[in-house]
Amino acid sequence: MRKINMRIRTQTPIWTGSSKGYSTSLKMSGVMGGLRHTFEALIRKFGGHTCNITNNITNSTNSCIYEKESSICPACAIFGTTGISRAFKLNLDLPTVSVNLPETDNMIPNRNHKNEEYKFLCGLDSWIASIIGTTEQIIKDHDQARRKLLNIKVAFSSEVANMPVIITRNIHEINIEKIIKYLLLFQSKYSGLGAKVRQGWGMFELIDVDKNQIKLDGESELIKLIAKYQYNEVHDTYFPNAKDMFAFEWQVNEDQRFNWDKKYTRRHPYKELGFALNFRFRRFIKFYKVDERGDLPIDQQWKNIIHGSPWDGVPWKKSIAFVRVMFGKDNAGKNDKHAGLVGTSHLYQKDGNWFVKFFGRIPESYKYRSTGQKLTLDYNEVTDFLRNNMEENILNGVIPETRNELTGGNL
């Protein structure tokens, strides 16, 4: 067993919990799930393939079973599977805090099928509370939502925390330590720790590391790992690939409130606005075409998905497939519900300044769940479109020249 001391600082709280979505304490199993997911995407970026242990895109699993070393995929080699343990452990101990979300958003109201704006404000805390727990009960009342959210505890400290990495198993000729450091660095740039990362939770940074060295070492070890575990089953076509990932970070003006709900007050060195901003951006894009702002970066196939449905003829429904793929499908049946491809961080502090991050992935082909159709996306067109509109129309007030741009899963 070898122990490496990593040091991290959480920028926004980490949400980990049960499959029902409750977060009550920091559970490292929840952190591991997200790391494995990203690790698999990195393997695909470098030309490898993985088994299907965590993904639900195909509605079936075929995870590796360890018989001899060559029988498993590179992800199971590090994260373990039936017959072989995980090659490392992470320890992280952080205090927990409760959550404090804005209640409503008064910007960009939702609309009915005649394109008329709803008079009531768009609910935020009630929306989040509805999807937590054992029953999917729609909550409309803010007091009820607050009571439910009171049970949630997320893990956070603005102080630097130790996160020891313990290597529990060796792999001949592979330096696992270098791989884990690279994975953590990648996760800090393109994602976060734990669950609900695309709603703003789990942003973090590594402290006192040589990023260029980690990248150099990590990439070469990853290539060696993929060559060693020759897993060639190609059933992961639609699974996340790190080459499709992007992350844009901006500095935010100190006094920027994004026209927020006056009742929302910040008690911590972060502002829990990730979900709210992402949801606002969702509505902005949903009505983008009918508001004649321009065209969406999608071809006719996307717009034609509603042909023959009861919604054919509803003005903004031509955007709906794109909006659902980007931001997730709400209000859907159990088999039809899916997470979106993009997310927005909460506002966080670095060296006394405020920042926000918008991140995700844009795959060149996407299988649309409801119809089974294969749709295509242009990475550059879509990321340009999202970045520009996020910067100019949703985050108006960020400082454009501070934009830090990562694309193609590059570090």
Kindly indicate which of the ranges 2-10, 66-74, 135-143, 332-340 contains the residues binding Zn ion, using the contact rule CB under 5 A. 66-74
Is 76 among the residues that bind Zn ion (CB under 5 A)?
yes
**Binding residues with Zn ion: total (CB under 5 A):** 4
Nearest CB to Zn ion, comparing residues 8 and 64: 64
Is 185 among the residues that bind Zn ion (CB under 5 A)?
no
**374: alpha, beta or left? (left if phi > 0; alpha if psi -120 to 50):** beta
CB of 69 to Zn ion, least distance (A): 12
Helix (H) or strand (E) holding 227: helix 211-228
Is 298 among the residues that bind Zn ion (CB under 5 A)?
no
Nearest CB to Zn ion, comparing residues 73 and 362: 73
Query: Residue 369: how many CB atoms within 10 A of its CB?
Result: 16
Nearest CB to Zn ion, comparing residues 73 and 276: 73
Nearest CB to Zn ion, comparing residues 233 and 312: 233
Dihedral angle, C-alpha 161, 182, 178, 72, nearest 10 °: 120
CB of 391 to Zn ion, least distance (A): 39
DSSP string, 193-219: SBB-GGGT---EEE-S--HHHHHHHHH
Nearest CB to Zn ion, comparing residues 65 and 150: 65
Asked if 11 and 205 touch (Cβ cutoff 8 Å), the reply is yes
Is 73 among the residues that bind Zn ion (CB under 5 A)?
yes
Kindly indicate which of the ranges 19-27, 74-82, 207-215, 385-393 contains the residues binding Zn ion, using the contact rule CB under 5 A. 74-82
Site string for Zn ion, 3-42 (x = CB under 5 A): ----------------------------------------
Strands (E), 116-184: 122-123, 153-155, 161-167
Closest CA to 356 of 411, 384, 396, 329: 396
CB of 81 to Zn ion, least distance (A): 5
Euclidean distance between CA atoms 403 and 169, whole angstroms: 41
Nearest CB to Zn ion, comparing residues 39 and 248: 39
CB of 48 to Zn ion, least distance (A): 11
Is 51 among the residues that bind Zn ion (CB under 5 A)?
yes
Nearest CB to Zn ion, comparing residues 40 and 249: 40
Closest CA to 12 of 351, 276, 348, 254: 348
Nearest CB to Zn ion, comparing residues 79 and 281: 79
Six token digits for residue 88: 């490392």
Euclidean distance between CA atoms 390 and 398, whole angstroms: 10
The interaxial angle of helices 211-228 and 176-190, nearest 10 deg, is 120
CB of 87 to Zn ion, least distance (A): 13
Q: Is 263 exposed, middle or buried (0-12, 13-18, 19+ CB in 10 A)?
A: exposed
Kindly indicate which of the ranges 69-77, 113-121, 243-251, 332-340 contains the residues binding Zn ion, using the contact rule CB under 5 A. 69-77
Asked if 180 and 88 touch (Cβ cutoff 8 Å), the reply is yes
Nearest CB to Zn ion, comparing residues 47 and 352: 47
Nearest CB to Zn ion, comparing residues 64 and 87: 64
Closest CA to 15 of 160, 125, 156, 186: 156
Please report, as residue ranges, which positions from 379 to 398 form the binding site for Zn ion (by CB under 5 A): none
Asked if 165 and 90 touch (Cβ cutoff 8 Å), the reply is yes
Member of 14, 64, 92, 390 binding Zn ion (CB under 5 A): 64
DSSP state of 393: I
Euclidean distance between CA atoms 2 and 181, whole angstroms: 14
Report the DSSP beta bridge partners of residue 206: 8
Residues interacting with Zn ion, by CB under 5 A? 51, 64, 73, 76
